[in-house]
A = this chain, B = another copy of it.
Amino acid sequence: MSLNTKQIEKISKALGDANRLKILQHIAKKGGCGFCSEIQEESPLAQPSVSHHLKVLIEAGLIDAEKEGRNQKYTLNDAVLKEYTSAVTMLNFA
């Protein structure tokens, strides 16, 4: 599966915010899998704002969400991240 311009644009936009970059770093630091509550604790933002940023990351395909009881678990989508960086490096997408 290879990414098109619209997807590259969306992923880039998702990466174009310091709060979201921090969230991704947090998840990566936790071995690619982090919980919403942890992310909220590390963030200076209000809960709905964090929720919004997580949604943007999900819609870009950078993370996947999974419910565990009343908690949300977020997993880094390494495949998408790799496809993104690969496509951007070569500027190879339609």
Tell me the A residues contacting B by CB distance below 8 Å: 5-6, 8-10, 12-18, 21-22, 24-25, 28, 81-82, 84-86, 88-91, 93
Choice from B9, B25, B81, B90 contacting A16 with Cβ under 8 Å? B9
Known: A12-B16, A16-B16, A85-B85. A91 touches B25 (CB 8 A): yes
Question: What is the copy number of this chain in the assembly?
Answer: 2
A1 → chain B closest CB, angstroms: 17
Q: Is the interface of A mostly helix, strand, loop or mixed?
A: helix
Q: How far is the CA of A13 from the CA of B81 in the complex (A)?
A: 16
Give the residue name and chain of the B residue nearest to A27 (CB). B91
A/B interface sample: 9 pairs, CB < 8 A: A9-B18, A10-B16, A12-B14, A12-B15, A25-B91, A28-B91, A81-B89, A82-B89, A84-B88
- Indicate if the CB atoms of B85 and A88 lie closer than 8 Å: yes
A9 → chain B closest CB, angstroms: 5
